[in-house]
Structure 1
């Protein structure tokens, strides 16, 4: 390419220099003739350069560059070829964009594109139906100005989009929407909004059913347990053949009562998003009380239970809910740790928030089970239920209590080496003394 440009330059200069020398031969002024010729040549180049400058300054994609000849003709032709190639590429890209917009416009789920500042750039028709976005007045507006639900504002400001957010529609409280946010490009964001009203209704029916059935079973079970207790209080008057049967019936009735109590507690936790009460809780004292109960539960198995709790930090929340969550973690450690094993309980706080860890030297859990441990009634081994007397709801209760307190649960375990359950509470939940 360099040789071509050099050849064009030489082919345009040589005739000019030849004419200047011929004019100098006639006039006898070789220097002035050559200077005048080169000056005219430079002025012509400057005029072509000014034409190019004006075209670039007033550039329009569909307007071709000016005509020219010689060296500048080749320049303008090259620019025109690049312009045509760019037009073809832009045409293909526009066709792809049009197809994407047509396909997303046909979706029942809302699709919203935000810039890096969280302002609305584009959305499909479903976003207008589900959220109430309006064209064109909402374009460029911050999405938090249009979706004013407190949970959405908190979710969007934190920027942690690993889990979706479920909230009512801002234009219709009977619609329940699920928001998925994904970052792409230069920190732009893509928001996918699904209508999960039917799923929400089914989930609410399930919760109501469990709560109602649990409540209705509680009364007859209390009556049965009461009569069994009365009979066993007068065990001398009972036929010896029935004594063992009555003891087993009382044991199973007690287990059933624990299950109903856990179901009712779980139903209560699921019906609200926040703790029943909020006050600074002395975690060190709470853990000391739970430790005493755990030592009693250990009994003859003689577990070594160690507690390290920093008394300088309290936790803002519901003491009853926190007691339920912490006791479930600690009692599980006692149940699944062999005799003479060690259980270490630790409470501390740092710049990231408050942390409670329960570490045991128990049987451990395989990695494939860890993601499902907080599901209700999930069992790593079904035979463990009868051995430990658990309800299968303990970790589900822990999960919902932590959700109420804006916290999360981390689980690490290795078969044969024990498990560690760690609750992480945000900084705003921790109160110093």
Structure 2
């Protein structure tokens, strides 16, 4: 018989016995009430025993009882044992996670949904200067106060890592990566990349120095070649035959050196000194004229202005980035293609677009297009005269203007290169039309 049915049976017998006893005394109702009161007193006694058990130590053996209360005590005890087992298992897992995090060389910091510090490993104490006694519960931006980190943290766009010096040792360079998880909580990881940073600085210095040293001999060589080409008719045919080819390759080498020097300057110099509101109509028209000269009538190039605000930035750098995109469109689209230079609004601010209806690019290449010297079609790119650094220059120019590059393309459907600038880079002044 089930405990509940058994309890009802007992209650019914006790009520019947009470009523019979009361009937014998001439008060059946009073006897029934007395029988029910006895059963109620028993239940109150078991409730009191349950309260004492839970208040004293629920991990101990439960009170002895039979029937419905016995089953209730047993179930509660088994449930608590299961919960204790699960709790111990979770504590062991958490301990292993903490131990493994402690063994990591990278800093690991756990933040709650408000950005306050909950837990961190010992590497975070060494790299970020966190102290368990004082910093728990503090907001992360109260401890890592670099404006670039604060802007990165508040932007909530963590697709790319952030590189900054350590707040406790400027000689140490850290790479921050933030990950969202759970209920809007965040995991902040910081890796010591000091050695890689120094190697990268050595590479930049080497490229800049070599490019600078090549500039002078190339200039001398180009000058003599120009002179020889002028008097090519007076030279023996065997000597004059290769002059134009030599001049072409010298010019290409000069362009490569100039692009390397520009890229080195963009990487080393933080910029910002020459940022002014730019007349976008004038800038796009200048780029269009340069692109038309390069196209020599093979493509049709037009300008579209849909945004009335100016862009706050460096005229030379934005001109260089847009020129690289436009010249790429000219070089890599067939004759008869249409190329559009466009300045238009964007949900995040505004954007510069260079769109063509050429052969397009396989999406598999798009993630690597901004790498130095990466070429989709090596043979065709060499014939086009490009240096392979154009999109790398575009990427670094945009980084210096708080912007980013989007590329949309499919084979046979043309290509769209979009430079997206934030609203903070836009000025309300209307564009010049000259």
TM-score over 0.5 (shorter chain): yes
Secondary structure of 1:379's aligned partner? coil
Match of 1:40 in 2: 38
SS of 1:378's equivalent?
A: coil
Q: What are the equivalent positions in structure 2 for 1:334-373 lying under 5 Å apart?
A: 334-373=330-369
- Structure 2 residue aligned with 1:137: 134
Q: Is the 8 A contact 2:353 2:419 kept in 1?
A: yes
Whether the 8 Å contact between 1:12 and 1:70 is mirrored in structure 2 is: no
Q: Provide the residue aligned with 1:207 in structure 2.
A: 204
8 Å Cα contact 1:275-1:321 kept in structure 2:
no
The answer to whether the aligner puts 1:423 opposite 2:419 as a matched pair is yes
Count of residues paired in the alignment = 429
Per-residue deviation, residues 261-305 of structure 1 (Å, max 9, x unmatched): 10000001111344452211111210101101111111142x111
**Cα gap change, 1:247 to 1:60, in 2 (>3 Å):** farther
Structure 1 SS opposite 2:361: coil
Q: What is the CA-CA distance between 1:206 and the residue it aligns to?
A: 0.7
Partner of 2:432: none
- Give yes or no for contact 1:169–1:177 (8 Å, CA) kept in 2: yes
Do the aligned residues in 2 keep the contact of 1:282 with 1:311 (CA within 8 Å)? no
Which of 279, 285, 289 matches 1:288? 285
For structure 1, the residue ranges without an aligned partner over 5 or more in a row are none
Task: Tell whether the 8 Å contact from 2:404 to 2:420 is kept in structure 1 after alignment.
Answer: yes
RMSD: 2.2
Deviation at 1:29, TM superposition (A): 2.2
**Which of 245, 249, 260 is the equivalent residue of 1:248?**
245
Aligned match of 1:24 = 22
Residues 276 and 216 from structure 1, CA distance in 2 versus in 1: closer, same or farther, beyond 3 angstroms?
Answer: farther
Are 1:315 and 2:311 an aligned pair? yes
Structure 1 residues 311 and 157 mapped into 2: Cα distance closer, same or farther (>3 Å)?
closer
Among candidates 64, 75, 80, match of residue 77 of structure 2? 80
2-side partners of 1:409 and 1:184: how far apart?
27
1:137 aligns to what SS in structure 2? helix
Aligned 8 A contact 2:23 2:31 in 1: no
Q: Deviations over 1:277-335 (max 9, x none)?
A: 2211111210101101111111142x111110236221111111000000000011111
Contact 1:283 1:311 in 2 (8 A): no
- Asked whether the equivalents of residues 267 and 396 of structure 2 are also in contact (C-alpha less than 8 Å), the reply is yes
CA drift of 1:26 comes to 4.6
Is the 1:354–1:424 contact (alpha carbons within 8 Å) kept by the matching residues of 2?
A: yes
1:217 Cα shift? 0.9
Alignment partners' CA distance in 1, 2:277 and 2:49 = 76
SS at match of 2:321: helix
Q: Distance in 1 between matches of 2:253 and 2:58?
A: 77
Residue 157 of structure 1: aligned partner: 154
Aligned to 1:171: 168
C-alpha offsets along residues 81-127 of structure 1, whole Å, 9 cap, x if unaligned? Answer: 21111111111111111111111111111221111111111111111
Structure 2 gap segments, 5+ residues each:
430-434
Return the alpha-carbon distance in structure 2 between the equivalents of residues 70 and 414 of structure 1: 75
Report the TM-score when normalising by structure 1.
0.92
The residue that corresponds to 1:89 in the other structure is 86
Residues 141-199 of structure 1 deviation map (CA, whole Å, 9 limit, x = unaligned): 11111111111111110001111111111111111111222122212112222211111
Looking at structure 2, the residues matched to 238 and 128 of structure 1 have their Cα atoms a distance apart, in angstroms, of 74
1:63 Cα offset (Å): 5.9
Question: Equivalents in 2 of 1:81, 1:40: separation in Å?
Answer: 30
Counterparts of 1:432 and 1:400 in 2: how far apart (Å)? 26
Distance, in Å, in 1 between the alignment partners of 2:326 and 2:169 is 44
> How far off is 1:61 after superposition?
6.1
Does structure 1 conserve the Cα–Cα contact (< 8 Å) formed by 2:354 and 2:416?
yes
Alignment of 1:391 onto 2:380: no
